[in-house]
Amino acid sequence: MSTEADVDAPGAAVTLELCGSWDHRPPCPLPHYAHAERTGTGVTLRVLFAAEPEDEEDVRRRIDEALSTGSVTRPDGSSTQWEFRGSTSGVVVPSEAARARRLAEAG
């Protein structure tokens, strides 16, 4: 991803995949939160989501599919491209606990 590219674009692609739209009525179809930050020459995207245990694998697949597209186009027609380099699962860290709890309650 170029240094001038929209760092939030990959997270927006995830939202489109999981929710179907950036603008939808509550509740969120699949409660999630994405946070991106630049790390050297790349971007690290952290996605928290709330899903039933039996749905976790499917949600992770959908997130990877959204990121694998390598681009997102905004309603104004502008777009951002990136190279998806892979994903790993993680655990909720203490600083994310309150947000994770809110996501779970929203689901």
The one-letter amino acid code at 65 reads E
List residues bridging with 42 in a β-sheet.
39
Q: Is residue 77 part of a domain?
A: yes
For residue 3, what pLDDT is reported? 83
Give the pLDDT confidence of 22-43 residue by residue, as tens digits.
888 888 889 999 999 998 878 9
Return the structure tokens found at 83: 């190279």
| Model pLDDT for residues 55-87, shown as the tens digit of each residue | 999 999 999 999 999 999 998 999 999 999 999
Whether 1 is covered by a domain: the verdict is: no
The pLDDT > 70 percentage for the chain reads: 100
Our count of domains for the chain comes to 1
Q: What is the pLDDT of residue 1?
A: 82
Nearest to 18 by CA among 56, 63, 81, 70: 63
- For the four alpha carbons of 7, 78, 14 and 86, in that order, the dihedral sign comes to negative
With a cut of 90, say whether residue 88 has pLDDT above it.
yes
Residue 18 belongs to what domain range? 9-106
32-39 and 71-73 beta bridge pairing: unpaired
Whole-model pTM: value is 0.91
What's the rounded Cα separation, in Å, for the pair 106 and 85?
30
